[in-house]
Structure 1
Amino acid sequence: MRLAAYLSRSRHGVFYFRWPIPQRLHPSRKRSHVRLSLRTRCPATAQRLSRALVLAGQSRIEAACAQAMKYVDIRQHVLDHFRGMLDRFKDGVDDSGPLGPVRYAALETTQGLADSDLDTWAGLIHPEGPDGLVQAFCAQRGIPAADLSAQHRAWLLDALRKGHHAFAKAALGHVDALERFDLDMPPGNAAGAGTADDDAASGQTQISYQEVVDQYFAEVARSGGVAVKTDADKRAALNLLAEITGDKTVAAITKADAQQAKQVLMQYPANRQKNRITRGKPLSEVLDLPGVPKIAAKTLNSYLSNMETFMGWAVRNGHADANHFAGMQVKVQRAKADQRDPFTDAQLARLYEHLIDNPMNLVKTDAAKWGSLVGMFTGMRLNEIAQLETADIKQVDGVWVIDVSDVGEGNRKRLKTAAADRRVPLHDRLIATGFLDFVEAQRDARQERLFPALSFCPKNGYGRAIGRWFNNTLLPKLGMKSKTLVFHSFRHTMNTRLYQADVPEAQIKAIIGHEQQGVSTGTYLKDGFRPAQLKAAIDRFEF
C-alpha cells in the first residue's frame, strides 16, 4: 500500500501524521508542522485516521488564513477577480465585435452605480445585498466567509465597489478604443490598447516585470556597465524579487511586498544553488531550514540595496510610483573579522623570504610568486594583477610602470571603478627581484598574458587560484592564518605605510586607485601625477 505524503513511520514501525503550518500563520513567521503519533502499526488504519485529520487540518487552516488576512490580501483577491473579468470581456468583444447600445448603456450604468453608497450599490449588484455579495465572492475565491471579521467584510465590500467601478471604466475604454482608427498607431495596438487612464483604472501595466528588468540592464550596459560579479549580484536579487512577488508587474509592487522580501531574506539560505539541501528547490521549501546557514547581514543588505537601486530607477523612468525598498536595510555593526589588517614588518620580511628563496618549497608556480610580489610592492587588487598582459609593463617618461586598465585582448579585463584605471610605478625592490626579467621571458615565449596558466571565471576574473593559494596554503604554513590577514592585506599595508611615510593623500590615491576628492585633485587634476612623482612616492614603502 502506498502511503500518503503526510504519513511517516518511525523506526519502531509506528505511524505518524505530519501536517505543514503555513509560514504566515506561525507566530514567528517560520515554516513549521504538526506531528502526531497515530498509535498504530497498521497501514490501513493509519490511512483511515489520516484522512479524517486532513479534513480537520484543511478546515482549520482555511479558517486561520481568513482570520490572518491582511488588507493587501483582500485587495489582491479583488484585483485578480476583476482583472479576469476584464480579460474575458476584452476577448469577447474582440471576437464578437463592438457592443450594441443596450450593453454599452448597461456598462455606463454600472460605472455610475459604483459611485453610489455601498448598501445601495450592493443591493443592486446582488439580490441579498452586502451579505449575499460577500458570500458569493468568497465562495468563488475559496475564502471561508464565516470566518471573516467585521473589518475584513468592510474592506472586502469597499474593494469590490472600487473594483467594479474600475472594471466598468476599463471596459468602456476598450470599447471606445475599438471605435477609434488612428493610422499613426503602431500595428497591433488599434484594438484594445485603451488609454493610460484605462490601464491605471484596471490596476494593470502594459509591460511585464521581466521587460522592465531587461530595460534596466540595457541602460546599465549602455552607461558603461558594471563588473561581472556586480551584474550577477544584481540579477540574483531581481530574480529573487520576482520569485517572492510571483512576477508582479513593477507598478504593482507594494510596501507589503518589500517587507515580505526583507522577511524572506532574513531566513534565506546561504549558497542556495550550491548547497545540495536547497539546490533546485522552490523558495517556500528552503527558508529557515534547520542546520542550513542563512546569508550574512551584509549579504542581506546587498540584496536589498540592489532591489532599492532597481526600484529607484523604475520610479525615475515611470514604471512605478514609489520606491518601497528605500530605508529597508538592516543595521550591521562591522565585526573585527570583516576588516583587514596590514602586515607587520616581520610578516612582510618572512613572506618576502619565502617568495624569493622558497625554503619550504611552498611556491610552485610563477603566478603564485610574481603575483604575490606585485601585490606586496604595488598594493594592486588581486584581479588587477592576475589579468595583466605582458604589454601592460612598460616605460613611461623613463619610468617602469604597470598600466592598470581594462584594455586588452578578449574583452575579459575589467576594473572595479573608474579610478582603478591608472599607472603604478614599479618599486625599486620589485625590479631588484628580477620581475622585469620574468616579463621579458614571457614576451620571448610569445605569451600575451603575464600569467597564462590562470583560468578565467566570469564572476571572479582570473585571481581565484592565486588568492586561494596565498590565503589557504602560504599564510597557514607560515603561521599567519587569520581572518583579518589575506592577500588583500597587501593593499591595506601599502596604503598604511605610505600615509606613515608622509606621502600626500592625493598621490596615495593615485597609486592605490581610489577616487580623488575635492576641487583641486578631483576636478582639475585631469592628467594625473607624473610617473616620476609617483615613483618617488611608492619607493617610500619599505620594511
Structure 2
Amino acid sequence: MGLPLFTGCKNRVHVWQTGGYFLQSHIYWGFLICILTGMRPGEVGQLKCADIRTDGEFYYFDLRPFDARNGRIAVKDLRNLKTNAAGRVIPINPLLIELGLLDRMQDLMDQQEERLFPEWNAYTRKDGRICWSQPLSKSWQYVKAKLKLNRADLTLYSTRHLMADWLDNGAIAQRTRDRILGHVSDVRGRYGRKGILDPQIAAKIETLEPRVIKQMKEILLAGKSRADAGELTMLKTYRPSR
C-alpha cells in the first residue's frame, strides 16, 4: 500500500513512479475493493453506480444479476457472473467510503454515467468470451515483478482467501461467509427477504479490522489527506461514456 499509486504518483501513465499527483483510478479502486471485499477482479470491473446500495445504515455492493421486482432487463445489461452463486450482496468496508468511493459514484451519476469504472475496458478473447479481469491482472503482474514477489501461488485471487480468513477469524458463520464470497447457491443464510445481510451480522463484519487493514488505513488515508490539503494534485481518470 506504500506504492506511489496510493501515496502520490508521477502522472496518469506512470502510476508506479513517485510524484505529486493523486490518482484514484480504476486500478486504485480495483485493488482496494478486491482486498476489502473478497470480490473477483472481473466482478469489480463490471460494477455500476446503481450497484452501491444502502439500507440506511450500511452500504453494500448488490451483485444480483437483476431485481425481479423491477421486471425484465435487456440481455446486454445482464452481469457476466462466474457462477450462479456469484449474484450476491456484499458489505462495503467503511475504509472505501472514507477514501471517497461514494463521491466517485455521485460524480459519475451526475454525468449520467452508469458504470462505476467507465475507464475499465473489457477484453474479448479469441473464443468470443468477454474478460473483465485483464486490467487489474496486468497491473498485478507488474507489481509482483516490481516488488520481486516470486511465489507462484500469490495471485489476485489470494485476496479472496485473505477475506475468507478475516471472516473466519471474526467468527462469521460459514453460510454467511460463503454468501459474501459467492461460493454457494443457497440464497438464504443470514440474508433477509430483500437479500440484505442481517443488520447485526453486517455490523460485525464492518468492525473487522485485522492488523493489515489498520496499516492500510493509515497509509491510504494519509495519501487522501495530502490530496485534500492540496499537497498532491488530484487527477480524474474517467470521462462519461455519453
TM-score by length of structure 1 reads 0.32
Check if 1:381 corresponds to 2:20: no
8 Å contact from structure 1 (residues 371, 466) kept in 2 = yes
Q: 1:429 aligns with which of 92, 95, 99?
A: 95
Residue 398 of structure 1: how far off its partner (Å) = 2.7
Check if 1:464 corresponds to 2:134: yes
Q: 2:157 aligns with which of 482, 488, 492?
A: 488
Check if 1:475 corresponds to 2:141: no
8 Å contact from structure 1 (residues 394, 400) kept in 2 = yes
CA distance in structure 2 between the partners assigned to 1:469 and 1:541 by the alignment: 26
Residue 390 of structure 1: how far off its partner (Å) = 0.7
Unaligned runs of 5+ in 1: 1-350
Q: 1:414 aligns with which of 76, 80, 83?
A: 80
Check if 1:357 corresponds to 2:7: yes
Residue 487 of structure 1: how far off its partner (Å) = 1.3
Check if 1:455 corresponds to 2:121: yes
CA distance in structure 2 between the partners assigned to 1:482 and 1:413 by the alignment: 32
CA distance in structure 2 between the partners assigned to 1:481 and 1:355 by the alignment: 21
Check if 1:441 corresponds to 2:107: yes
Map 1:139-538 to 2 at 5 A.
Answer: 351=1, 354-358=4-8, 361-362=15-16, 366-407=25-66, 410-456=76-122, 457=124, 458-470=128-140, 472-515=141-184, 521=189, 527=193, 529-538=197-206
8 Å contact from structure 1 (residues 403, 423) kept in 2 = yes
**Cα distance change of structure 1 residues 427 and 417 upon mapping to structure 2, 3 Å threshold:** same
Amino acid in the other structure paired with 1:356: F
CA distance in structure 1 between the partners assigned to 2:191 and 2:108 by the alignment: 35
8 Å contact from structure 1 (residues 390, 448) kept in 2 = yes
**Cα distance change of structure 1 residues 416 and 393 upon mapping to structure 2, 3 Å threshold:** same
Number of the residue aligned with 1:9: none
RMSD: 2.8
CA-to-aligned-CA distance 1:251-291 (integer Å, 9 cap, x gap) = xxxxxxxxxxxxxxxxxxxxxxxxxxxxxxxxxxxxxxxxx
Residue 541 of structure 1: how far off its partner (Å) = 4.3
Amino acid in the other structure paired with 1:422: R
CA distance in structure 2 between the partners assigned to 1:414 and 1:531 by the alignment: 28
CA distance in structure 2 between the partners assigned to 1:516 and 1:539 by the alignment: 26
How many residues get paired?
188
CA distance in structure 2 between the partners assigned to 1:478 and 1:422 by the alignment: 34
Residue 478 of structure 1: how far off its partner (Å) = 2.6
Residue 438 of structure 1: how far off its partner (Å) = 1.7
Higher RCO (C-alpha 8 Å, min separation 6): 2
Amino acid in the other structure paired with 1:374: I
8 Å contact from structure 2 (residues 61, 91) kept in 1 = yes
Instruction: State the SS of the aligned residue for 2:117.
Output: coil
CA distance in structure 1 between the partners assigned to 2:2 and 2:184 by the alignment: 30
Map 1:76-115 to 2 at 5 A.
Answer: none
Amino acid in the other structure paired with 2:205: A
Number of the residue aligned with 2:239: none
**Could you list the runs of 4 or more consecutive aligned residues of structure 1 that deviate by over 4 angstroms after TM superposition?**
352-355
8 Å contact from structure 1 (residues 389, 450) kept in 2 = yes
Larger radius of gyration: 1
Instruction: State the SS of the aligned residue for 2:168.
Output: helix
**Cα distance change of structure 1 residues 362 and 411 upon mapping to structure 2, 3 Å threshold:** same
Residue 373 of structure 1: how far off its partner (Å) = 0.9
Residue 534 of structure 1: how far off its partner (Å) = 2.7
Instruction: State the SS of the aligned residue for 1:495.
Output: helix
Amino acid in the other structure paired with 1:438: R
8 Å contact from structure 1 (residues 401, 426) kept in 2 = yes
CA distance in structure 2 between the partners assigned to 1:439 and 1:468 by the alignment: 25
CA distance in structure 2 between the partners assigned to 1:354 and 1:498 by the alignment: 29
Amino acid in the other structure paired with 2:89: R
CA distance in structure 1 between the partners assigned to 2:4 and 2:203 by the alignment: 26
8 Å contact from structure 2 (residues 53, 59) kept in 1 = yes
8 Å contact from structure 1 (residues 511, 534) kept in 2 = no
8 Å contact from structure 1 (residues 498, 541) kept in 2 = no
Number of the residue aligned with 1:268: none
CA distance in structure 1 between the partners assigned to 2:5 and 2:179 by the alignment: 27
Residue 449 of structure 1: how far off its partner (Å) = 0.8
Instruction: State the SS of the aligned residue for 1:373.
Output: helix
**Cα distance change of structure 1 residues 500 and 416 upon mapping to structure 2, 3 Å threshold:** same
Amino acid in the other structure paired with 2:171: D
Residue 397 of structure 1: how far off its partner (Å) = 4.2
Unaligned runs of 5+ in 2: 18-22, 67-72, 213-242
**Cα distance change of structure 1 residues 469 and 525 upon mapping to structure 2, 3 Å threshold:** closer
The alignment-based identity, stated in percent, is 24
CA distance in structure 2 between the partners assigned to 1:425 and 1:532 by the alignment: 12
Residue 386 of structure 1: how far off its partner (Å) = 0.5
Instruction: State the SS of the aligned residue for 1:447.
Output: coil
8 Å contact from structure 1 (residues 405, 415) kept in 2 = no
CA-to-aligned-CA distance 1:459-501 (integer Å, 9 cap, x gap) = 243221121112x212222333432112111111101122122
